[in-house]
Structure 1
Amino acid sequence: MPSRRNTLTAGLAAAAALPGGVTLAQAPATQAPATPAPAAPAGPALPYRPHSIRTPDGLTLAAYEYGNPQGPAILFLHGYAQAALCWDRQTRDPALARDFRMVALDLRGHGMSDKPVGNEHYRNSKLWADDVKAVIDQLQLARPTLVGWSYAGRLMGDYVAEYGTGAIGAMNWVAATSSTAETSRYGRALRHLGPMGSPDPATAIAATIAFLRDCFEVQPSANDFEVMLSFNMMVPRHVRIGLGGRPITFEGRLRTVDVPVLVTHGVLDKVSDITMGRHTAALIPGSRLSEFPFIGHAPFWEDAPRFNRELAELVRSARR
């Protein structure tokens, strides 16, 4: 039986063998430099122009620009626990992309934007107004049309209350919150918000799935739902909790809005009842209410062709 030392030596020699049977001991002291590895192939071109927005309180927000840089501007603001990706059926629409400069924002605490810890980052109305203003100013959006879905009604109201309408051209309230005075203006889906902030991951995920299902009367495909659930779960628990408990104080200011306003609302909305849209339209002088029958909380997704057509009409009527 060979000795342990001989066995180890033989094993090391075999492990050190180079191609062609040459061992490390027999190899020349110097060798030609190895051929560099080929460079990794370039990734696909992004379908948007990325922007980083710096807020007055020091956060960085992610924004995505689509369409015609010379066209009238549209700024899309998403809802609670969502992301800029929810506007996919608008930002990728060929007709809108041909005519308009479209910017979709990940709100603070959402998507790829900063997510600071502490309720003080989410319950101050001026911070939200400042975020909207920062996007408009830093991207030099000329009198953009603000399009706000659901929770983003608060952002639009905060912005108008703080800065007025001088820098915007029009507004589209999409199933958007304009009042907290009447609980009857909210739908059954709000029962999921508490469990969505649970410290138990399984509970939070199950509640998020149920909430997303209630956002649609016309349900998304399995693939689209997976994407939506993924960006919903990018919103951490402290942000979900921080977004709650903020009163609305801008209702009176909406009575002085002097730009074209479209209020878009699904009649079968389970998150924000149709009475919320009717309330918003009654508050804002000269606004137009567009009710979508057989549609839920996401008319921009559930009936994108009609939504996009009406949005284009609004943008063309915007104050310049």
Structure 2
Amino acid sequence: MNFSGEGENGGMISKGGLVMMVRRRVTERRVEGGGGLWLYVEESGNPAGRPIVFFHGYSQNHLVWLKQTESDLAEEFRLIAVDLRGHGRSDKPQGVYGDSRLWAEDVAGVLRDLELAQPVLVGWSYSGLVLCDYVRHYGQEAIGGLVFVGAVTRTGVKESFADLGDEFVALVRPSFSNVVTESQSAMEQLIHLTMKGLLSEEEFYLFLGFNGAVPPHVREGMMKRKLSNDDLLPTIQNPVLIVHGSEDRVVLPAAAERHAGMIPKARLRIYPGAGHSPFWENPGRFNEELREFVRSI
């Protein structure tokens, strides 16, 4: 698959029987995050539109948002997709994944360096924690709204295990392994669990590639955090959209219902039959509801 070319409209083409993605025109950026770590960011869409900033999940990268960045959302909004620290083309040093302030500074660095005015921040899965890190340390004044997608807001504490599916929990420790066959097997199982078997062969190996590019020490550092945002959620006054699949086996739907009950201005949208990735499994509905939410702010 070729994801490096530029295209005006985006879309899928077939060449010699191989399905290839023609990308919309993107701008590649490097942003300084917490502790001087460099983050990779891609920007596309309407430069005059309201910014939407996408943050991916555990062991993924910015390409998970292709069904949003390559959609007609780009005609209206300024779209920014970030590689989290330790992921994709961002820096991957040791020992920098346990401090909430560093994660908050990453988000603040993106907003600062790209000069984003009142952006909407979208956090999938683990990035629910990242959005909370930002709000805890920087407040809510600089952002327009938050979107939690299959998100967690606590980790490493006793209560957090109630939010997670048993199948996912069983894969966490093997994903730390420095034995390639063990960690790769865990990543393959995680992809199938996350994407609910909806990937083509080409897509599966794309996902396996960027999961495999995340060093085990990054995954271990992320999952060893001990953090709860139960005190923070009731203080959020920004508009919040919560999207969750009814069949999510990674982050259980009960977590979304709990978040909706704690956040004053939350709107909960449950996607029947969807798993952990409603933005990929049902992009038509997700994109339209995201559009309506951003317009409403």
Map 1:1-320 onto structure 2 (within 5 A): 44-45=5-6, 47-93=25-71, 95-118=72-95, 121-180=96-155, 181-187=159-165, 188-217=167-196, 219-318=198-297
Q: Whole-Å Cα distance in 2 between the matches of residues 171 and 44 of structure 1?
A: 31
User: C-alpha displacement at 1:178, in angstroms?
Assistant: 1.6
Q: Whole-Å Cα distance in 2 between the matches of residues 202 and 124 of structure 1?
A: 30
1:171-192 deviation digits (Å, cap 9, x = unpaired): 1100000234242221122211
SS for the counterpart of 1:140 is: coil
CA contact (8 A) 1:217 1:294 kept: no
What amino acid maps onto 1:196 in structure 2?
S
Q: Whole-Å Cα distance in 2 between the matches of residues 221 and 159 of structure 1?
A: 35
CA contact (8 A) 1:150 1:272 kept: yes
Q: Which runs of 5+ in 1 are unaligned?
A: 1-42
User: C-alpha displacement at 1:68, in angstroms?
Assistant: 0.2
CA contact (8 A) 1:218 1:302 kept: no
Q: Whole-Å Cα distance in 2 between the matches of residues 258 and 190 of structure 1?
A: 32
TM-score normalised to structure 2 length: 0.89
Q: Whole-Å Cα distance in 2 between the matches of residues 96 and 157 of structure 1?
A: 25
What amino acid maps onto 1:62 in structure 2?
Y
CA contact (8 A) 1:257 1:284 kept: yes
CA contact (8 A) 2:193 2:250 kept: yes
CA contact (8 A) 1:260 1:317 kept: no
CA contact (8 A) 1:75 1:104 kept: yes
User: Over the residues paired in the alignment, what is the CA RMSD in angstroms?
Assistant: 1.3
Matched-pair identity in %: 40
1:89-128 deviation digits (Å, cap 9, x = unpaired): 00000x200000000000000000000012xx00000000
Bigger-Rg structure (1/2):
1
1:28-63 deviation digits (Å, cap 9, x = unpaired): xxxxxxxxxxxxxxx843731011001241111000
TM-score normalised to structure 1 length: 0.83
